[in-house]
Amino acid sequence: MDQKVTVGKTEQTSWKTFLTFYAKIKFPWHLLIATVILSFSMTQVNLLLVPYTAKIYEGGITEANFLQGFILWSVAYAGVTFAFQLVSGFVRIIAIRNTQRNLWSKILRLPISTYDKEQPQSLISRITSDTESAVSAPTSVASFFASCYGLVMAYLEMNKIYDKLAFLILFVIPFAFVIIFIIGKLQYRMNFAINKAYSRMTSFFAERLANMQYIKTANVENEEYQSGIQASQIKYKADVLNAILGTLQTPIGLSVQYAIMIIVFAGGASYVRSGEMQIKGLVEFYSYSMILLPSFFEIVSQWQNIKSSHGGTYKIAALMNMENELLKGKFAADKDPSDIQFDHVSFTYDGEHQVLSDISMTIPHGKVTAIVGENGSGKSSILKLISRFYEPGAGEIKYGQQRLSDLYMDEWRNSIGYVSQNSPMIPGTLRENVVYGAVSTPSEEELERAARIANVLEFITELKDGWDTPLSLSQTNISGGQKQRIAIARAIIKNPNILLLDEATSNLDNANQREVMQALLQAMKGRTIIMIMHDMELVHQADHIIVMNKGSVESQGTYKELLEQCESFKTFIELQKG
């Protein structure tokens, strides 16, 4: 579906937010100050060259000290220009680097709930293309004011030469600045639209490339081709409008230029003929106009850059202003293992559809607790709340006598191992994947023990490069079951006090599933293990079982107790036997 990109009142960066943004990204202000000084110096030297330029037009190059002065200021102008280009280039490079560092740090510290609202793929363009357009404003501001200075000084000199002719130019200047303002507004909206369209296009292609196998399995290449065309078409339309805007600036600028030149030559010629002005004054007047005109064009260009940067900062500034995940707490978790207690906890992802409703339960420490229930009953949400990916909408979760929300986040997560159904892998070797997140570097013996428990050691040792085998970019050189085993080995290496298993062996066959789980339960004996399982043979081994039904705790107890009192539990067992 074709989409129209617009900028609403709520989707604009205020000037205050825009300026505050630069205070957050460690902008190289010392280099910017040098850029400002060099920018004004370049304008001033250019002004000092005007009398020499005028003498060239007048034929006064034979005058004493002309050649020395002309060479001196020409070399000075070239040197200052070179220094300006060099320093402003470094300002941009350093600012982009610092912005990307700060933005990446910010993205890593945002709560998981943020990624429910923002597509992770769209954040790619925020870190890459958006940062490049966002950081250009300060150097553009320096050039903007230096150009304003050049325009004013050139006009004052023109006014000294002949005020009547200079007065006529004042009628053009207000019109010119109205044009600048309009162009700036349009440029802001266009750059905002382009960045938004680029983000959507990046998100689309990142998603499709990551799921190319599914596209080919479903045989929908033609349909996806059309979807890709539509995704790129949005940016194409924004680029076309931006190109039209850029094209319009040339005739608008030329109209201002010719208006001033007509005033200078027509008016100047008239005053020379009437004897009110000498030809020497007209030549010098014209020479200063050759500074006034470029200064005007530079003002237009730099204002365009400032508004372009202004429009490009909307999403970045919004991300930077988001609340970080609260890592600090009031106190550390008790050293002695404790029960995890849910006290009238309710939870929703979107604020409308209740996922958990007023649940109260106790997960005993040092025991194996199994959570069973139909899909969508809230099982995985319980593990996410324990991991503090989300906070309850109502009620409290406690670890012993302490509320989870009062504990230091990093310490709490260090005490947890989490193995999910879709076990993520990182680009790198098998070794790097197994030790990922480990508090300390494990020994070879510890690595082999973890791999043996996860029943993946034989697979690793048979590989040509063993532990140093790199995973392919799409991870096609490793099966889903092997990925789950590596994830289990990763959790064992972490040596957590609490182990969360969300269908952690679902990609294994029954024999391997039970073998791995038996070894894992034995290795983690005495730790708190919370597992979501559909295999009732494994559930049978749990010390405590919680039955979920439509976001509520239907029943909890031992296997034997639930057989006697919970109809849903008996149904699960009968269905599996059948």
Count of other CB atoms within 10 angstroms of residue 75: 11
Please state the domain count of the chain: 1
393, 551 Cβ separation under 8 angstroms: no
- Tokens for 84? 């300006």
Tell me if 149 is assigned to some domain.
Answer: yes
Tell me if 307 is assigned to some domain.
Answer: yes
- Average confidence (pLDDT) over 195-221: 72
Tell me if 505 is assigned to some domain.
Answer: no
Bridging pattern class, strands 544-549 and 368-373:
parallel
- Give the list of residues 6+ apart from residue 96 with CB closer than 8 angstroms, or none: 131, 132, 135
Q: What pLDDT score was predicted for residue 3?
A: 41
Q: What pLDDT score was predicted for residue 8?
A: 43
Tell me if 158 is assigned to some domain.
Answer: yes
Q: What pLDDT score was predicted for residue 385?
A: 93
Structural domain including 179 reads 9-320
Residue from 526, 522, 337, 523 nearest 446 by CA? 523
- Tokens for 349? 């992802």
pLDDT confidence tier of residue 372, bands split at 50, 70 and 90: very high
Tell me if 305 is assigned to some domain.
Answer: yes
CATH number of the domain bearing residue 118: 1.20.1560.10
Residue 521 to residue 368: CA distance in whole angstroms: 8
Q: What pLDDT score was predicted for residue 219?
A: 75
Q: What is the DSSP letter of 478?
A: S
203 compared with 11, residue with greater pLDDT: 203
Query: Residue 397: in which H helix or E strand, if any?
Result: strand 394-399
Tell me if 132 is assigned to some domain.
Answer: yes
Q: For residue 7, is pLDDT > 50? A: no
173-192 burial: b if 16+ Cβ within 10 Å, else e = eeebeebbeebbebbbbbbb
Considering the entire predicted model, what is its pTM? Answer: 0.72
Residues in the chain: 578
- Tokens for 35? 């850029």
Q: What pLDDT score was predicted for residue 329?
A: 66
As a whole number of Å, the end-to-end CA separation of the chain is: 46
Tell me if 236 is assigned to some domain.
Answer: yes
Q: For residue 5, is pLDDT > 60? A: no
Residue 254 to residue 243: CA distance in whole angstroms: 18
pLDDT in tens, 150-175: 888 988 888 888 888 888 777 777 77
Tell me if 532 is assigned to some domain.
Answer: no
Q: What pLDDT score was predicted for residue 113?
A: 79
